């Protein structure tokens, strides 16, 4: 039932984007929720990281994207999530996204 959230994260409306990211960030606070969020979108880290470093993006949207990123990274150290993170190539995707992102 959460499959619509990645679409809302790409909305043109700032409030809709911020709300969708806030909901995803809240869900990702638990290990189970983080696992669910990870399975919603294959390019999650690339998209979230690009939002965080996009200085033209609204601060509220960037803040919720950063919280989502932090929650997933924090929970990825748990045994339960580490297995699915490896299956989804999460660590590889994160490394590639960070190396490709310009922090200017």
| Per-residue pLDDT reduced to its tens digit, 3-16 | 888 889 889 999 99
Looking at the chain, the whole-number percentage of residues with pLDDT higher than 70 is 90
For the whole model, what pTM was predicted?
0.81
Q: How far apart are alpha carbons 22 and 38 in whole angstroms?
A: 15
CB 60 within 8 A of CB 14: yes
Q: With 0-12 CB in 10 A as exposed, 13-18 as middle and 19+ as buried, what is 53? A: middle
The mean pLDDT of 47-75, rounded to a whole number, is 92
């Amino acid at each position: 039932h959460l499959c619509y959230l990645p679409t809302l994260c790409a909305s043109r409306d700032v409030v809709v984007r911020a709300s969708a990211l806030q909901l995803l960030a809240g869900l990702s606070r638990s290990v189970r929720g983080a696992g669910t969020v990870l399975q919603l979108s294959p390019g999650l880290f690339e998209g979230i990281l690009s939002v965080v470093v996009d200085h033209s993006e609204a601060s509220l949207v960037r803040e919720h994207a950063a919280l989502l990123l932090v929650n997933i990274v924090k929970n990825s150290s748990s045994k339960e999530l580490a297995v699915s993170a490896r299956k989804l190539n999460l660590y590889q995707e994160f490394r590639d996204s960070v190396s490709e992102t310009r922090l200017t």
